[in-house]
Amino acid sequence: MTTIHTLGFPRIGAQRELKHAVESYWRVDQSIDALKQTASALRSQHWQWQREAGLDVVTVGDFAFYDQVLNHIALFGCAPKRFGFGPRLSVDQYFQLARGNADQFALEMTKWFDTNYHYLVPEFHADTHFELDSHWLLDELKQAQAEGHRVKPVLIGPLTFLWLGKAKGHAHQHQHAQHADCCGAPTQADAFDKLPLLARLLPAYVQLLQELTAAGVELVQIDEPALVLDLPQAWVDALDHIYATLRASGPKLLLSTYFGAVDNHAARLSKLPVAGLHLDLVRAPEQLAAFADNWPADKILSAGIIDGRNIWRADLDRCLETLSPLRRQLGDRLWLAPSCSLLHVPVDLAQEGKLDPELKSWLAFAKQKLNELSVLKRALDLGRTAVHQELQTSRAALDARAASPRIHNPAVAARVDGIGAQDDRRQSGYTTRQLAQRERLNLPPLPTTTIGSFPQTDTIRRARAAFKRGELGGSEYHQAMQAEIQHAVSRQEALGLDVLVHGEAERNDMVEYFGEQLAGFAFTQYGWVQSYGSRCVKPPVIFGDVSRPTPMTVAWTQYAQSLTQRPMKGMLTGPVTILQWSFVRDDQPRSQTATQIALAIRDEVVDLEAAGIAVIQIDEPAFREGLPLKRADWPQYLDWAARAFRLSASGVRDNTQIHTHMCYSEFNDILPAIAALDADVITIETSRSDMELLDGFGEFAYPNEIGPGVYDIHSPRIPKVEEMTRLLRKAAAVIPAERLWVNPDCGLKTRGWAEVDTALQNMVTATNQLRQELAATL
Ligand SMILES: CN1c2c(nc(N)[nH]c2=O)NC[C@@H]1CNc1ccc(C(=O)N[C@@H](CCC(=O)N[C@@H](CCC(=O)N[C@@H](CCC(=O)O)C(=O)O)C(=O)O)C(=O)O)cc1
Ligand SMILES: N[C@@H](CCS)C(=O)O
Ligand SMILES: [Zn+2]
- CA 685 to centroid of ligand 3, rounded, Å: 7
The protein residue whose alpha carbon is closest to atom 4 in ligand 2 is 747
Residues 717 and 765 sit within 8 Å (Cβ to Cβ): no
pLDDT over threshold 80, residue 178: no
Residue range of the domain that includes 602: 428-777
Task: Report the nearest atom of ligand 1 relative to the CA of 461.
Answer: 45
Give yes or no: 714 in active site.
Answer: yes
Check residue 181 and give its pLDDT. 24
pLDDT value at residue 189:
61
Mutation to probe ligand 1, out of 450, 468, 531, 746 (largest number of atoms < 8 A from CB): 531
Angle at the Cα of 266 from the Cα atoms of 261 and 272, rounded to 5 degrees: 120
The predicted pLDDT at position 175 comes to 35
If one residue of 111, 116, 451 were mutated to test the ligand 2 pocket, choosing by the most ligand atoms within 8 A of its CB, it would be 451
- d(Cα 547, Cα 555) in Å, to the nearest integer? 19
**Residue 507 CA to ligand 1 centre (angstroms):** 9
pLDDT number for residue 171: 40
pLDDT digits (tens, 9 = 90+) for 216-261: 999 999 999 999 999 999 999 999 999 999 998 789 999 999 999 9
Q: What is the mean pLDDT of residues 302-323?
A: 98
From residue 406, alpha-carbon distances to 399, 542, 543, 544, 686 in Å are 13, 11, 8, 7, 43
Model pLDDT, residue 172: 39
Average pLDDT over residues 100-125: 94
Give the C-alpha separation, 498 to 6, whole Å.
51
Q: Please tell me what DSSP assigns to residue 108.
A: P
Q: What is the DSSP letter of 751?
A: S
Catalytic residue among 5, 125, 502, 714: 714
Last residue of a domain, one of 240, 256, 272: 256
What residue owns the CA closest to ligand 1's atom 29?
Answer: 508
| pLDDT over 50 (residue 595) | yes
**Do the domain assignments include residue 130?**
yes
* Closest atom, ligand 1, to C-alpha of 511: 7
Is residue 176 predicted with pLDDT exceeding 70? Answer: no
Given a cut of 70, whether residue 170 has pLDDT beyond it is no
Q: How far is the CA of 449 from the centre of ligand 3 (A)?
A: 13
Site residues for ligand 1, CB cut-off 6 Å: 19, 116, 456, 461-462, 464-465, 508-512, 531-532, 535-538, 581, 621, 664, 749-750
Binding site residue list for L-methionine: 451-453, 504, 619
Lowest mean pLDDT among 126-140, 187-201, 411-425, 461-475: 187-201
The pLDDT value recorded for residue 688 is: 76
Q: Which residues pair with 253 in a beta bridge?
A: 220
Asked, for residue 507, whether it belongs to a domain, the answer is yes
Q: What CATH number has the domain bearing residue 205?
A: 3.20.20.210
Q: How many domains does the chain have?
A: 2
| Residue 34, domain member (yes or no) | no
Give 253-266 pLDDT, tens digit per residue.
Answer: 999 999 999 999 99
| Residue at which a domain ends, from 256, 274, 307 | 256
Question: Which residues 6+ apart lie within 8 Å of 130 measured at CB?
Answer: 76, 77, 78, 200, 201, 203, 204
Q: What is the mean pLDDT of residues 393-414?
A: 96
Closest atom of ligand 2 to CA, residue 577: 5
CA distance linking residue 426 with residue 433, whole number of Å: 9
The C-alpha atoms of residue 526 and residue 556 are separated, in whole angstroms, by 27
**Protein residue closest via CA to atom 8 of ligand 2:** 747
Residues with CB under 6 A from ligand 2: 451-453, 510, 571, 619, 621, 661, 663, 746-747, 749
Share of the chain above pLDDT 90, in %: 91
Q: What is the pLDDT of residue 37?
A: 98
Q: Indicate the annotated binding residues for 5-methyltetrahydropteroyltri-L-glutamate.
A: 16-19, 111, 116, 535-536, 581, 625
CA-CA-CA-CA torsion sign (25, 31, 36, 39): negative
Which residue lies with its CA nearest to atom 41 of ligand 1? Answer: 465
Q: Which atom of ligand 2 is nearest to the CA of 453?
A: 7
Per-residue pLDDT at 174 exceeds 90: no
User: Could you tell which of 537, 661, 713 is best to mutate to test the pocket of ligand 1, judged by most ligand atoms within 8 Å of the CB?
Assistant: 537
Q: Please report whether residue 730 resides in a domain.
A: yes
Probe target for ligand 2 pocket from 619, 625, 660, 748, with the most ligand atoms within 8 Å of CB = 619
Beta strands in 235-306 (DSSP E): 252-256, 276-280, 300-306
Is 157 among the domain residues?
yes
Indicate whether 12 belongs to any domain: no
pLDDT at 187 over 50: no
In-domain check, residue 483: yes
> Does any domain span residue 302?
no
CA distances from 196 to 158, 191, 199, 214, 765 (A): 12, 13, 6, 29, 45
d(CA 339, CA 261): 11
Given 256, 280, 304, which residue is the final one in a domain?
A: 256
Which residue ranges make up the annotated binding site for L-homocysteine?
Answer: 451-453, 504, 619
Q: Which atom of ligand 2 is nearest to the CA of 451?
A: 7
Identify the burial level of 27 via C-beta atoms within 10 angstroms of its C-beta, where 0-12 means exposed, 13-18 middle and 19 or more buried: exposed
Please choose, from the candidates 157, 156, 154, 137, the residue with its C-alpha nearest in 3D space to the C-alpha of residue 57. Answer: 154
User: Count of alpha carbons within 13 Å of 572, Cβ hemisphere only?
Assistant: 32
* pLDDT at position 184 over 90: no
Angstrom CA distances, 128 to 73, 131, 201, 279, 556, stand at 12, 10, 9, 32, 51
CA distance 141 to 46: 14
pLDDT at 597: 98
Instruction: Give long-range contacts, CB 8 A cutoff, 24+ apart: 486-489.
Output: 486/563, 488/454, 488/560, 489/560, 489/563, 489/564, 489/568
Alpha-carbon gap, residue 510 to 276, rounded angstroms: 41
Ligand 2 centroid, distance to 661 Cα (angstroms): 8
